[in-house]
Each structure stands twice: as C-alpha cells, then as structure tokens.
Amino acid sequence: MVRYIAGTVTAAGLRVNARLKRGGNETGERVSDEVMRRLHLRPHAVCPAWNYTLSPRT
C-alpha cells in the first residue's frame, strides 16, 4: 500500500512521499494543535472528521 501511495503523481506534477511507520503508534500519541493548524485541511460535507482534502503548502 505504501508503494501505491508513494507512486501517486498529480496532473500538475505533485509527487507524494509516503513512509511506513513500523511498530504502531504509542498509546496516547497525538499530533499537536500547532501542527494541525499548519495543515491545509478542507473538510468535506459528508463525515468531515474522516473525509477531507489536504492541499499543499504555499
């Protein structure tokens, strides 16, 4: 699956970098609010907690 994701290229030439994190996540591991604010996430109307678009940074 990681190779499939990493092989993604958009029509505009955007390439995806994907890495597999082995060993799972630590219990309680979270992304900080600061990091989340820096992401360009646009939630979708249907199930916005799970469905969103991540846009590249400028």
pTM for the model stands at 0.42
pLDDT in tens, the chain (58 residues): 888 888 888 889 888 888 888 877 778 778 899 988 889 999 999 998 889 998 887 7
Task: Quote the number of domains for the chain.
Answer: 1
26 found inside a domain: no
Q: Give a yes or no: residue 17 inside a domain.
A: yes
Q: Do the domain assignments include residue 9?
A: yes
In this prediction, residue 45 carries a pLDDT of 92
What pLDDT score does 34 carry?
92
Burial of 52 (0-12, 13-18, 19+ CB in 10 A): middle
Residues spanned by the domain of 44: 1-21+34-54
